[in-house]
Chain A
């Protein structure tokens, strides 16, 4: 069992609509970018296998519709998340101001065991539009420090700036979170089903 234990990391991307959540995910997973805006319907995910600290992990990256939220997917959508990525558009102050509510929303819905240390990563996207920029690095960094030293990256899904690095940090922090959860397992209330004396081969007869 231990030889094959595959690690699955569930990563959730949140942020206002149009900040580039889907583009960031597509750039990272498929190395593709399209400047055409197509609103995400509901939610969808992509998976990517990466090496993190000598371990092969599968990242299941969930992208939500910024305006539609998660429709009927309910609590299962947030449950079991290992890392939450908050995205804003550096050219639109409103999307930055909304980060607070996205973060709170996540913490309420996911109900992580240790909310203060749950790994978040903040991405300020669309830095390729340099002359329209409204949110300074300093302002974003201040917010991240205030919220418990959240790692901050300035990205451009269009020009593939910092995307790889950002997601690597996401994977690393998510893996750390996953390991921490493992340490807490079994919880005190876990049920122990005893092994039958010899380890039975799977078989039906």
Chain B
């Protein structure tokens, strides 16, 4: 049981690695690694989708936190991608200032031909997303801030050793990063996310960690709320133990008093990994409130009879500790031999998630 729990993300992540290619681009003289799933035709340009009156959801640009890389958004890339959203996740290159990091995000959007985007940022990534919104207001159609902060002052005491960080042995730096993860008794899904992150921290380039710490210590000031309609800001906040201090996160809500706030019972540092389904639900409700529909939504289309999730049950659903049988139907789809091409998704997948629900009516 314990072993099955520990590899909770294993199957899903394997499916992700098999199906979604890593991409690279040189942006702003920086070598950037990213993933890009969903319909490439979605660029955020204001065009109506097939649903009348609804605009297609602009592409989601996911920016990770201090210890995260693009792969940490793999559950968003898989599930939201299969629901018809275009999802891009990037690994922040080693830059030591927030305007520098923001320039890379803006550059990547230009490279991909994206005019408007929903910026999804977790922790430090949330701060980058806000800087992007300030530097390039036309790009940001919406903001999703996951355990984010608006003021770097909260980290000053933690970061007193940043001037020396370049001289620190690798193992110490990584240990420090790992010490930010929650300890003690945690919910199984949070434990899964921690296990995943421990692996991530091992793989993170040293210079990326160092430069992100230096950025955090850079005393950059946001200079007031970002120039974006607050209806288009979603704040996702996990209520359990999170590395970003509660005070810093409470400030975000005060900073954007009219933003939509989605509180989660659990999720810890990485709700987008631990309780991805809840995060997706809140994001979908938020998109709908903004008048955005997924690119290929066809609400009235009948269920295809040979839907993959009917014929092929999840291999490990029974051994999951929680109702993780609620894994996105995508993972079962990916277990099928035929590779799934994200670009050519048609509406059929839309219905996948609520298929079980529909049976009861």
A interface residues, Cβ below 8 angstroms from B: 1, 4-6, 8, 10, 41-45, 47, 58, 60, 69-77, 79-80, 104-105, 108-109, 111, 185-187, 189-196, 200-205
Q: Is B339 an interface residue (CB 8 A)?
A: no
Contacts of B277 in A (CB 8 A): 74-76, 79
Contacts of A44 in B (CB 8 A): 285, 289
Q: How many residues of B contact A (CB 8 A)?
A: 62
Q: Which of A6, A108, A204 contacts B360 (CB 8 A)?
A: A108
Q: Which of B6, B326, B360 contacts A105 (CB 8 A)?
A: B360
Q: Does A191 lie within 8 Å of B188, measured CB to CB?
A: yes
11 contacts across the A-B interface (CB closer than 8 A): A1-B241, A8-B264, A44-B285, A73-B284, A79-B278, A190-B185, A193-B186, A204-B159, A204-B216, A205-B158, A205-B213
Q: Is B321 an interface residue (CB 8 A)?
A: yes
* Partner-binding segment picked from B56-64, B91-99, B224-232, B348-356: B348-356
Q: Which of A80, A186, A187 contacts B265 (CB 8 A)?
A: A80
Task: Give the shortest distance, in Å, between A144 (CB) and chain B (any CB).
Answer: 22
Q: Which of A41, A58, A194, A200 contacts B179 (CB 8 A)?
A: A200
Q: How far is the CA of A44 from the CA of B282 in the complex (A)?
A: 9
Task: Give the shortest distance, in Å, between B67 (CB) and chain A (any CB).
Answer: 8
Q: Does B323 lie within 8 Å of A69, measured CB to CB?
A: no
Residue of A nearest to B286 (CB): A44
Residue of B nearest to A73 (CB): B281
B interface residues, Cβ below 8 angstroms from A: 1-2, 5-6, 66, 83, 155, 157-159, 161-162, 165, 168, 173, 176-177, 179-180, 182-188, 191, 194, 209, 212-213, 216, 239, 241, 243, 245-246, 261, 263-265, 277-278, 280-281, 284-285, 288-289, 299, 321, 323, 326, 350-351, 353-354, 356-358, 360-361
Task: Give the shortest distance, in Å, between B349 (CB) and chain A (any CB).
Answer: 10
Q: Does B183 lie within 8 Å of A8, measured CB to CB?
A: no
Q: How far is the CA of A70 from the CA of B4 in the complex (A)?
A: 31
Q: How far is the CA of A110 from the CA of B172 in the complex (A)?
A: 44
Given the contacts A76-B281, A195-B183, A190 and B188 also touching, CB distance less than 8 Å: yes
Contacts of B188 in A (CB 8 A): 187, 189-191
Contacts of B326 in A (CB 8 A): 74-76, 79
Q: In this complex, which of A41, A71, A185 has the most chain B Cβ atoms within 10 angstroms of its Cβ?
A: A71
Contacts of A79 in B (CB 8 A): 277-278, 323, 326
Q: Does A72 lie within 8 Å of B5, measured CB to CB?
A: no
Task: Give the shortest distance, in Å, between A4 (CB) and chain B (any CB).
Answer: 5
Q: How far is the CA of A196 from the CA of B181 in the complex (A)?
A: 11
Residue of B nearest to A108 (CB): B360
